[in-house]
């Protein structure tokens, strides 16, 4: 009996600790980013029963610390979002740190052991103080220019060390409370992101890697959130390309979460060729979120909806005004959800909840993630 105990103790002692709670058998997650940067969140518009996770956007980085940029409204929003657990007790609320605007100080914050520890401690302190469920990191981008952010070659290794430090602090909190806390990240849905990170190592500390498989078109019109590459554009970015490159880099399929765009991107173009696709943008055109597109733009004279069969992506074009817009709709969401199920991925996430207040796309997500898997799903 004593010999058996000693062997079992040795196995437990020398077996690496597995941080992630998710597994290949877990049902797909539905992660919604909810913006608090505009002020108080209208929780009456949030259907918590349709979500598994809410990532609160955003917490800032200042003086090597996680910092509530709008403390009064942020803390109120934490309380309001936690109240949604009355509708859905299994809902998880995470703080998302960074974003496009507030990523400029990440590189400094994780540069040394001392700064990383300060950043990790203050990140988890927010989770502890406001009874939240974890931390999401949205660093745009390590080792690359973003919105005027500081970046350096050391970001590649420090990115991994940052997650290690945060995970250590979350584990300490877990030992205090007996609860498991999530650590996730939003990442660039393009191969260059992998050149500046160690995703195979970083994922060991993470529960989910949320692929920002959107914002693919800049300067000229094109699909900004396509599932596959378009015909004659095989090298363009896509959700499928992101998934395959991340898996090749060592991220398990069940941790990968495909991003959906509840908003549009586009512009006024020079030419009407190819229904406005792959044309130079000469001036802005804001088509807005999906609810507005469906209820308003699609009803206006001159606007026509098109579908790229190969890319599995819709787009809108007004030939007279030369206005183009790319976005997700119910049809593209269907294919993305079926793709997630077919390849046993972690689930889907989307930016951002308020862009589709009538929940057209979220209802589609729930419908298609719950439907029986069919062999011909992607045909």
Instruction: Identify whether the C-beta of residue 60 lies closer than 8 Å to the C-beta of residue 102.
Output: yes
Instruction: Point out the residues that are catalytic.
Output: 140
What was the pLDDT predicted at 112? 98
C-alpha separations of 259 from 225, 235, 289, 290 in Å = 8, 19, 15, 15
What was the pLDDT predicted at 19? 64
Helix axis angle, 360-370 to 330-342, nearest 10°: 30
What was the pLDDT predicted at 173? 98
Domain 27-261+328-370 sits in CATH at 3.20.20.80
Instruction: Identify whether the C-beta of residue 92 lies closer than 8 Å to the C-beta of residue 55.
Output: no
Could you tell me the pTM of the whole model?
Answer: 0.93
Structure tokens at 322: 């030369």
Instruction: Identify whether the C-beta of residue 325 lies closer than 8 Å to the C-beta of residue 285.
Output: yes
Instruction: Identify whether the C-beta of residue 251 lies closer than 8 Å to the C-beta of residue 208.
Output: no
Q: Nearest-CA neighbor of 227 among 189, 273, 256?
A: 189
Domain ranges of the chain: 27-261+328-370
- Tens place of pLDDT for every residue, the chain, 379 residues? 444 434 433 433 333 344 677 877 789 999 999 999 999 999 999 999 999 999 999 999 999 999 999 999 999 999 999 999 999 999 999 999 999 999 999 999 999 999 999 999 999 999 999 999 999 999 999 999 999 999 999 999 999 999 999 999 999 999 999 999 999 999 999 999 999 999 999 999 999 999 999 999 988 899 999 999 999 888 899 999 999 999 999 999 999 999 999 999 999 999 999 999 999 999 999 999 999 999 999 999 999 999 999 999 999 999 999 999 999 999 999 999 999 999 999 999 999 999 999 999 999 999 999 998 765 555 5
What was the pLDDT predicted at 27? 95
Whole-angstrom distance, CA of residue 75 vs CA of residue 36: 10
């Amino acid at each position: 009996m004593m010999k058996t105990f000693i062997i079992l103790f040795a196995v437990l002692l020398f077996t690496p600790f597995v941080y992630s709670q998710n597994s290949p058998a877990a049902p797909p997650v539905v992660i919604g980013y909810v913006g608090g940067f505009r002020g108080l969140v209208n929780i009456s518009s949030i259907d918590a029963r349709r979500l598994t996770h809410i990532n609160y956007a955003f917490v800032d980085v200042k003086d090597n610390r996680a910092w509530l940029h709008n403390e009064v409204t942020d803390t109120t929003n934490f309380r309001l979002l936690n109240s949604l657990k009355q509708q859905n007790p299994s809902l998880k609320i995470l703080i998302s740190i960074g974003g496009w605007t507030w990523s400029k100080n990440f590189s400094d914050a994780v540069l040394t052991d001392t700064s990383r520890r300060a950043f990790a401690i203050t990140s988890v302190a927010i989770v502890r103080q406001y009874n939240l469920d974890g931390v999401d990191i949205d660093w745009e981008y390590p080792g690359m220019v973003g919105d005027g952010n500081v970046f350096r070659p050391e970001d590649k290794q420090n990115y991994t060390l940052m997650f290690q430090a945060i995970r250590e602090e979350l584990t300490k909190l877990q030992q205090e409370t007996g609860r498991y806390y999530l650590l996730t990240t939003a990442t660039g849905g393009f191969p260059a992101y992998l050149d500046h990170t160690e995703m195979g190592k970083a994922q060991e500390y993470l529960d989910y890697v949320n692929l920002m498989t959107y914002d693919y078109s800049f300067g000229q019109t094109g699909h900004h959130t396509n599932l596959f590459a378009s015909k004659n554009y095989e090298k363009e970015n896509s959700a499928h390309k992101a998934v395959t490159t991340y898996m090749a880099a060592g991220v398990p399929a069940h941790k990968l979460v495909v991003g959906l765009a509840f908003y549009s991107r586009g512009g006024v173009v020079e030419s009407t060729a190819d229904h406005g696709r792959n044309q130079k943008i000469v001036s802005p055109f804001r088509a807005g979120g999906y609810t507005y597109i469906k209820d308003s733009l699609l009803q206006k004279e001159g606007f026509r909806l098109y579908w790229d069969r190969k890319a599995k992506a819709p787009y809108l074009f007004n030939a007279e005004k030369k206005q183009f817009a790319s976005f997700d709709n119910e049809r593209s969401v269907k294919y993305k959800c079926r793709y997630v199920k077919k390849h046993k991925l972690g689930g889907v996430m989307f930016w951002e909840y308020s862009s589709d207040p009538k929940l057209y796309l979220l209802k589609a997500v729930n419908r298609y993630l719950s439907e029986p898997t069919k062999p011909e799903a992607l045909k």
